[in-house]
């Protein structure tokens, strides 16, 4: 009887072990995936820029002008550079973008900027063949007004390819110049002027942990932009050739001149974006 009970106990243990082996094993926990944030251009930004500005007008006149007697000796001629306006441009900008779909998609926005403009220093450098009467300043009648600063308020429309944005831009422009530099220095040239601007560019967003991210912004972006600016100056001082140095007033004018200040700016910029990642 004892052997029978022992055999029954052993059989029961073996059966239990076999049943346990047939049970399904506990599955390992699934790996945890952290989704990578999709970049969006939506957000406000501010930044700085620097570049080069140059005369963008279509000049159809020569650069040599006869100075009439009695303001100069007979046969006196003044010769000017064909391109008398170019120089450094730099400033800052602020703006806001909105992207309709994160990742890649249409981006709209606006931007306002204010720029220093180094125009006017060399615009009246002329080669004089002959002699001009004392007390008179020779002025290039074709050239741009001297501009000390300009700015724009523009809309932007572009398409983002993830962190790369290609855009066009256009809107309102304004500018002004100092009286002592404009058109030989005579009075009345420091008036505020308005007009329009248009252009385009490409912008790239660096990673958030970029070494350039001093302000802990959501992104640092780099851009290259070209802008055409047209400021209407009406008929003010159009075609002025000679200026009286004492009274700072025009003395001799010609039929040559332009009714607007037209120039182009090519610049690079750095922006700090805040808002969505």
For the segment 83-123, what is each residue's pLDDT rounded down to a tens digit? 657 889 999 999 999 999 988 999 999 999 999 988 766 66
Nearest Cα neighbor of 186 from 121, 242, 233, 106 is 242
Q: Does residue 15 form part of some domain? A: no
Tell me whether residue 6 is in a domain: no
Return d(Cα 86, Cα 259) in angstroms, integer.
19
The domain total for the chain is 1
| Sheet arrangement for strand 136-138 | 136-138, 240-244, 249-253
Let me know if 219 is exposed, middle or buried by CB neighbors in 10 A (0-12, 13-18, 19+).
buried
Residue 7 included in any domain: no
C-alpha separations of 58 from 80, 175, 237, 254, 261 in Å: 16, 20, 19, 18, 11
Q: Are 188 and 177 in contact (CB under 8 A)?
A: no
- Strand-pair partners of 117: 89
Predicted TM-score (pTM) of this structure: 0.72
Q: Is residue 83 part of a domain?
A: yes
Average pLDDT of the segment spanning 134-149? 77
32 assigned to some structural domain? no
Boundaries of domain holding 210: 58-274
| CA angle, residues 199, 200, 201, in degrees to nearest 5 | 145
236-272: pLDDT as tens digits:
556 788 888 888 788 888 877 655 678 999 999 999 9
Tell me, yes or no, whether 150 lies in a domain: yes
Cβ atoms of 84 and 123 within 8 Å: the answer is yes
């Amino acid at each position: 009887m004892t052997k029978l009970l022992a055999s029954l106990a052993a059989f029961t243990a073996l059966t239990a072990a076999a049943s346990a082996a047939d049970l399904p094993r506990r599955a390992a926990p699934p790996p945890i995936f952290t989704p990578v944030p999709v970049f969006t251009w939506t957000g406000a930004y501010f930044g700085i820029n620097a570049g080069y500005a140059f005369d963008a007008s279509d000049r159809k006149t020569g650069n040599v002008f006869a100075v009439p007697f009695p303001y100069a000796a007979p046969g006196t001629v003044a010769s000017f550079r064909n391109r008398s306006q170019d120089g450094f441009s730099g400033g800052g900008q602020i703006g806001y973008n909105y992207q309709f779909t994160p990742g890649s998609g249409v981006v709209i926005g606006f931007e306002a900027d204010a720029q220093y403009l180094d125009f006017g220093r060399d615009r009246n450098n002329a080669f004089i063949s002959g002699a001009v009467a004392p007390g008179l300043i020779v002025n290039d009648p074709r050239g741009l007004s001297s501009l000390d600063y300009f700015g724009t308020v523009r809309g932007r429309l572009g398409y983002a390819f993830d962190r790369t944005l290609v855009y066009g831009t256009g809107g309102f422009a304004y500018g002004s110049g100092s009286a002592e530099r404009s058109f030989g220095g005579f009075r009345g040239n420091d008036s505020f002027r308005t007009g329009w601007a248009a252009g385009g560019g490409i912008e790239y967003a660096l990673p958030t942990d970029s070494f350039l991210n001093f302000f802990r912004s959501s992104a640092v972006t780099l851009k290259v932009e070209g802008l055409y600016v047209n400021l209407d100056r009406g008929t003010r001082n159009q075609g002025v050739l000679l200026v009286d140095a004492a009274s700072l007033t025009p003395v001799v004018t010609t039929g040559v001149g332009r009714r607007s200040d037209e120039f182009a700016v090519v610049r690079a910029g750095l922006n700090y974006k805040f808002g969505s990642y």
